[in-house]
Amino acid sequence: MSANDWQAIILTVQLASATTFILIVLCLPGAYFLSRSRSVIKPLLETIVTLPLVLPPTVMGYYFLVLFSPNNGVGLWLREVVGIELVFSFSGILLASMIYSLPFTFRPLQSAFEQLPDDLYQAAALLGFSPWKQFTCVILPAIKPALLTAITLSFAHTIGEFGAILMIGGNIPGETQVLSLALFEHVESLNFKAAENLAMVMLVFSFCVVFACQWWQKQSVQHNYGNNRTS
């Protein structure tokens, strides 16, 4: 593989790791509060969160490009006030990846929170746990399988992203060219040997990520089952 291919691999891992980490940090409290919410705007918020799941990546990428263009709108403000440009940059594709992978992280967590019995919350409150301790010591362990699912889906989905990243980041080697874009470039230039190598890397890597998550989930379920039997 060429130096550009290795750069694409490293950049993809960096992008997937950063996207997953930020989404988990944001979605854990967000999904928890939305699962407990009875607000009339809850359906609207759920629709907004789910929208990237059905919206074509090129459509979303187009609106990213328009919104964050350095010549108008939010992009102009960011360039003149903050001094950053999101278009054709790693920060831009990171933001696009976060929004595009949002439902794959948020919805499994929200579903897991909603399935927790009210008795669990009441028991934690009776033990005198603070809200923070309730969340970290009682609720998070109870949704561990869903958390692993959210991490896996976010990471794996980011690895395969194409349209949104191409629209807002272009295809700049070493800066915004991720694996999927490098693969597309090889196919477009009829370099099928290089394309085959990258395709195999993506296949093996994705398989290993999903397999590891499935194994961790199984171990977590068995561990929880063993604790329930001994308690």
Mean per-residue pLDDT pooled into runs of 10, the chain (231 residues): 88 94 95 90 92 88 86 82 86 92 94 88 80 85 88 89 87 89 91 91 86 75 55 52
* pLDDT value of residue 30: 93
The answer to whether 35 touches 113, Cβ cutoff 8 Å, is yes
* pLDDT value of residue 63: 87
* pLDDT value of residue 224: 56
Name the domain count of the chain: 1
The answer to whether 56 touches 100, Cβ cutoff 8 Å, is no
How buried is residue 5: exposed, middle or buried, by Cβ count under 10 Å (0-12/13-18/19+)?
buried
* Domain assignment of residue 89, given as a range: 3-230
Whole-model pTM: value is 0.86
The answer to whether 19 touches 154, Cβ cutoff 8 Å, is yes
DSSP 3-state assignment of 24?
helix
**One-letter-per-residue 3-state SS of 151-201:** HHHHHHHHHCCCHHHHHHHCCCCCCCCCHHHHHHHHHHCCCHHHHHHHHHH
Tell me the CATH number at 56: 1.10.3720.10
